[in-house]
Structure 1
Amino acid sequence: MSAYILILDDDADVATAAQLLLRRRYGQVATLNDPAGLPALLARGVPDVVLLDLNFTPGRINGAEGLALMDMLRAQARPPAVIAMTAYADVPLAVEALKRGAGDFITKPWDNARLIAAVAQALARREAARGGGAGSPELMGESQAMRELKALIASVAPTEANVMVLGENGVGKELVARAIHAASRRAAGTLLAVDMGALPESTFESELFGHRKGSFTDAKADRAGRFQAARGGSLFLDEIGNMPLAAQAKLLTALERREVTPIGADKPEAIDVRIISATNLEEARLFDPSVFRADLLFRLNTIVLRVPPLRERREDVPLLLRHYLQIYEAQYQRPARNVAASAMDVLTRHEWPGNVRALRHACERAVILGQGSEYVSADFGLPTALPIARPAAPAAATVAADAAANAASPAAVTVAAGAAANAASPAAVTVAAGAAAAATFAGAAMHAGAPPGATSLDAIERAAIASTLAQFNGNISHAAKTLGISRAALYRKLGKHGI
């Protein structure tokens, strides 16, 4: 993934260790050991994420130096996401760092998986929050569906009721949560977002409830959990539907008792947070006891907000297009251009399976690649015609691909999938299933006038991803596992293909 990460730490060894860990995943990872050099560095370009040590002078452990640097970072035109780091962690310092704008708080020495997940979440939050706040693009719109959603937010926000936000990927569930928090009585406190699907089950209690020094092998200092760090504010539990059942039981206990017990502690600690949760699971699946505990669901869904997909509010597409095009024209210093009437018609009728996130990526592409006096539909890279995959071997895959190529109806696609299912070997099953996955899109492409026999690895990959997402009702974690890639890699591919 292309991202600019800065590690600001006075310990060169610590900074180098983090750089080596992250450099394999991100395009540019820089280190800075002296905070005096930060203004000059920011003048050359603002990072996407800053890993910020809170103490630089030997003997100081109050975090005041780091908090002052956070104010400098927050003053930038496009502030970076900040992850605060310190070897001397306590709850008041964590809360203050979060109030100053930190998206996460990590205690050194860190767990590598924990640090990687924190950076990935910081980048995702920064991407989602482009345009900022309750009036952000994902919440823009004058359609009836959006007016109703905004009215519900205005009614629900001032209460203390727990809220569950439902919606497909890319509709802006986190920004709905931020709008709720901003209009609540807890707005002066922090809104701390946690990707529940990314929390390893082995560290679930430590991450949410905290731990005491010495409570396990790597517990070299006390650490505040997310419940303690969000005290007085709101806790946004994203991807709540991806939690294992065992973890759900632990969360339920905390919510019922309104207290948590840090690992290694002798007594519980009271919690004071409002819970806002979100999931892209279909609502019916939440009532499946093999997927989600009914008693936990009733604790979380006091109020349910359903965010409409973009295809159900097509009248908002022109407004969103103008907004994002203006953003990227300014960012890339390109001239302002109108969208051709024919292109606007195509864009408005498009299904937008990736919702507002996909529309935003399409606008960025159009600004970068568009050459004419107006934007035309081709500038946005919409899949007007997907080619047919025809792998040469094994035989079962060829049969499935041929069936896909000749698909004139959903029944033909089913035949193609059946051919894949009956392939003779695991490898054949994988290839044939990929061909069958492409069948649906290939058939649609042929009806749209695509040239028969066209071949593209990108199209095959896009079709396989789209089919897998459809199979799991948009669940990113399950789709990534089935495809054999990480969640982060899948998100990158979703952006690449505009899904």
Structure 2
Amino acid sequence: MENTLGKILIIDDNEDLLFAAKMLLKKHAKEVIIEKNPKKIPFLMNNGTYDIILLDMNFSQDTTSGKEGFYWLKQIHEMDPKAVVILITAFGDVEMAVQALKEGATDFILKPWQNEKLIATLSAAIKLKDSYNKVDKLTKAKKVLEEDVNKPFNDIIGSSAAMKNVFSIIDKVAKTDANVLILGENGTGKELIARAIHQRSLRKDNVFVSVDMGAITESLFESELFGHKKGSFTDAKDDRPGRFEIANEGTLFLDEIGNLSMPLQSKLLTVLQRREVTRVGANKSTNIDIRLICATNMPLHTMVLDNSFRQDLLYRINTVEIYLPPLRERQDDIPTLCDHFLKMYCQKYRKNQKEFSVSAQNLLQKYPWPGNIRELQHALERAVIMSDDDVLDSRDFFFLSGKPVAQDAPESSANNLNLEDVERNVIQRAIDKNGGNISKAAKELGLTRASLYRRLEKYGL
């Protein structure tokens, strides 16, 4: 039973009782804190957390009303609503015990107590505390899941060479706990890939927590990711776990990680190295056990060379790297994606199942989709809503007509010897040939990865 009672705080004006209790309980508790003056309770509560609090009901001589105990019980619960408090008194009766329980006490014991009975009472209390913590964690995890459930999560669709390469990497990495970095333009489905990895992992029965790093301000970064204690800043009205704690034993997905400033990168790196977080305003750390997946549309390797992204953080997050190709590099998947979204939105908006005319198919196939799958999805949804016909033609996608239509890449022939066009075409062909694998494409081109990333950014590939 050693160290099974956690951290205990005892407040009583009888010094002999305090030391006797500490001697008894230190064999069974992780730590025992004793205090004679109840006025120090606010200080003690603000500078530590306790698994069990033993609180005397009477601090004034010849007082048997228990009013002081009830007063401090109320103060403790205002500071920590989930505190497990056991009231102690030498003048207890059934009526006072009932009132104590109504006021929020966990239990009620009389002094002098029997040691075995005290240990049994505290053991029951610590089990109750553990159940509170589990319920609290499940409630917060459920809230995160409910927030995420409304986000679109469709099966990954694609049979192109580039997507087959992505699927192969997912199959290899999913069952491990390796950190994964997903690179790709906006709208390519990076979060979908992250969820697919989680669903195929050993953590699939635990929570998947998604965080948009680009939407978190510098001032709220630590609070959102690491959590905070009540009163640690103006709007901190309650204790709140951060996303790292909520994702414990599950998967944490940090999207748009390339948007972090250097100071925030440093704070994130520290947490990843130590595998523990400290809430804002707290004095103790909490161990974390997460599977980390990050994503960005920014060229992190180039940013390392420019000293705008930490190299050690990049090494930490990209044990395995997945390049998610833009839609223009996987045109073979466009018809399948179009059919999928057409069926989905016809069902959603209770419309007859529609189909595409040849002109619509040609337009959708040739259009470059700068917004990638997200743009394609929105285009299909709009067309289904606005069209009254069972056949969608090019006129139902008039809003795309003013945008540039994809053209064949310029060939390095006698008719076009522009060096930039030739280089762009060669790079595009290398990327396509290697299924979007940057490392293989760079090796075939005789370039370093960083050099290839700079050229990809230069040509908008």
**TM-score strictly above 0.5:** yes
| Alpha-carbon contact 2:251-2:293 (below 8 Å) kept | yes
Percent identity, aligned pairs only, is: 45
Q: How far off its partner does 1:127 sit? A: 4.3
1:230-269 equivalence runs, <5 A: 230-269=247-286
Consecutive unaligned residues in structure 1, runs of 5 or more: 1-60, 63-89, 105-121, 388-410, 412-469, 475-499
Q: CA 1:168–1:338 in 2, change beyond 3 Å: closer, same or farther?
A: same
| Alpha-carbon contact 2:144-2:209 (below 8 Å) kept | no
Match of 1:360 in 2: 377
Match of 1:227 in 2: 244
Q: How far off its partner does 1:352 sit? A: 0.6
Q: What is the CA RMSD across the aligned residues, in angstroms? A: 2.8
| Alpha-carbon contact 1:260-1:271 (below 8 Å) kept | yes
Q: Deviations over 1:401-423 (max 9, x none)?
A: xxxxxxxxxx9xxxxxxxxxxxx
| Whole-angstrom distance in 2 between the partners of 1:359 and 1:386 | 13
TM-score, length-scaled by structure 2: 0.57
| Alpha-carbon contact 1:213-1:220 (below 8 Å) kept | yes
Q: How far off its partner does 1:315 sit? A: 0.9
Match of 1:171 in 2: 188
Q: How far off its partner does 1:308 sit? A: 1.0
Consecutive unaligned residues in structure 2, runs of 5 or more: 1-80, 83-131, 405-417, 419-456
| Whole-angstrom distance in 1 between the partners of 2:331 and 2:396 | 20
Match of 2:150 in 1: 126
User: What amino acid maps onto 1:95 in structure 2?
Assistant: K
Q: CA 1:103–1:301 in 2, change beyond 3 Å: closer, same or farther?
A: same
Match of 2:368 in 1: 351
| Whole-angstrom distance in 2 between the partners of 1:144 and 1:472 | 22
Match of 1:211 in 2: 228
TM-score, length-scaled by structure 1: 0.53
Match of 1:96 in 2: 138
User: What amino acid maps onto 2:180 in structure 1?
Assistant: V
1:69-108 equivalence runs, <5 A: 92-97=134-139, 99-100=141-142, 102-103=144-145
Aligned pairs, number? 282
Q: How far off its partner does 1:101 sit? A: 6.0
Match of 1:463 in 2: none
User: What amino acid maps onto 1:348 in structure 2?
Assistant: Q
| Alpha-carbon contact 1:170-1:358 (below 8 Å) kept | yes
| Whole-angstrom distance in 1 between the partners of 2:179 and 2:236 | 32
User: What amino acid maps onto 2:175 in structure 1?
Assistant: P
| Whole-angstrom distance in 1 between the partners of 2:195 and 2:334 | 22
| Whole-angstrom distance in 1 between the partners of 2:144 and 2:185 | 27
Match among 310, 319, 323 for residue 306 of structure 1: 323
Question: Does structure 1 residue 148 correspond to structure 2 residue 165?
Answer: yes
| Whole-angstrom distance in 1 between the partners of 2:255 and 2:403 | 33
| Whole-angstrom distance in 2 between the partners of 1:471 and 1:201 | 30
Q: CA 1:214–1:383 in 2, change beyond 3 Å: closer, same or farther?
A: closer
Instruction: Report 1 or 2 for greater relative contact order, CA contacts < 8 Å, sequence distance ≥ 6.
Output: 2
| Whole-angstrom distance in 2 between the partners of 1:197 and 1:285 | 19
User: What amino acid maps onto 2:150 in structure 1?
Assistant: R
Match of 2:387 in 1: 370
| Whole-angstrom distance in 1 between the partners of 2:267 and 2:371 | 33
| Whole-angstrom distance in 1 between the partners of 2:275 and 2:242 | 14
Match of 2:344 in 1: 327
Q: How far off its partner does 1:208 sit? A: 1.1
Q: CA 1:203–1:99 in 2, change beyond 3 Å: closer, same or farther?
A: closer
SS in 2 for 1:381: helix
Match of 1:275 in 2: 292
**Structure number with larger C-alpha Rg:** 2
| Whole-angstrom distance in 1 between the partners of 2:345 and 2:158 | 19
User: What amino acid maps onto 1:377 in structure 2?
Assistant: S
Q: How far off its partner does 1:206 sit? A: 1.4
